[in-house]
Structure 1
Amino acid sequence: MPAVTIRNLSDEAHRALKVRAAQHGRSTEAEMRDILEAAVRPTHRVKLGTLLSAIGREAGLTEAELEPFDRLRGETPTAPMSFE
C-alpha cells in the first residue's frame, strides 16, 4: 500500500487535524486518510444499475418490465476486482 509524506504542514493545521481526529474517535493518520479519500472520491458518480435502468426507460420499458431488475439488484457494493 502506498505511503505519503506531507512536509511543511503548519502547527495550526496539525493541531486542527488532531482535534478533528479526536472528535471522530480515530487517529490523526486515519483522519487524514478519510479527508484525502473524500476529496478525490466522485460525489455524483452514476452507478451502472442506475444507468441501465435509465436506458431501459428511454427505450420504452414499463415499470412492470423493469421491476425484476430492481428486485435482483443487490444493495451491498461489490468488492473491487483484484489483479494480483
Structure 2
Amino acid sequence: MSTNRPDDLPVRRIDRVLAFMALGIAVLSVLCFFAIMISTAAGMQHADYATGIWPVVAAIPLFGLPIAFALILVLLIMSFVRRGKANGRA
C-alpha cells in the first residue's frame, strides 16, 4: 500500500542535499567521538592528542554536531514554510 497522495509535495534537491549533509557530518562527528573514546581506553597518554591528526579528530565533534543540528533545523523550517505555502494555495 502506497502512502503517496497526489497532493504530496515533491522532494526538492536542496532538501535532499541538506539532509545528506547533516547526516554525513553527524556520522563523522560520532565516529571521531568513538575514536577518541577507544584510544583513551586503549591507554594513549594525554600528550599524544596534541600531535598528529588527533587535534582535528578532537575538533570535529565540537564543531560538527552543532553544524549538523543547525542543518536539520534549517531543513525543518524550509519544509514547514513550503508546506504552509502549499496549503495556503489549496
Q: Which has the larger radius of gyration?
A: 1
Q: What's the TM-score once normalised by structure 2's chain length?
A: 0.32
Q: Larger RCO: Structure 1 or Structure 2 (Cα < 8 Å, ≥ 6 residues apart)?
A: 2
Q: Which has the higher helix share?
A: 2
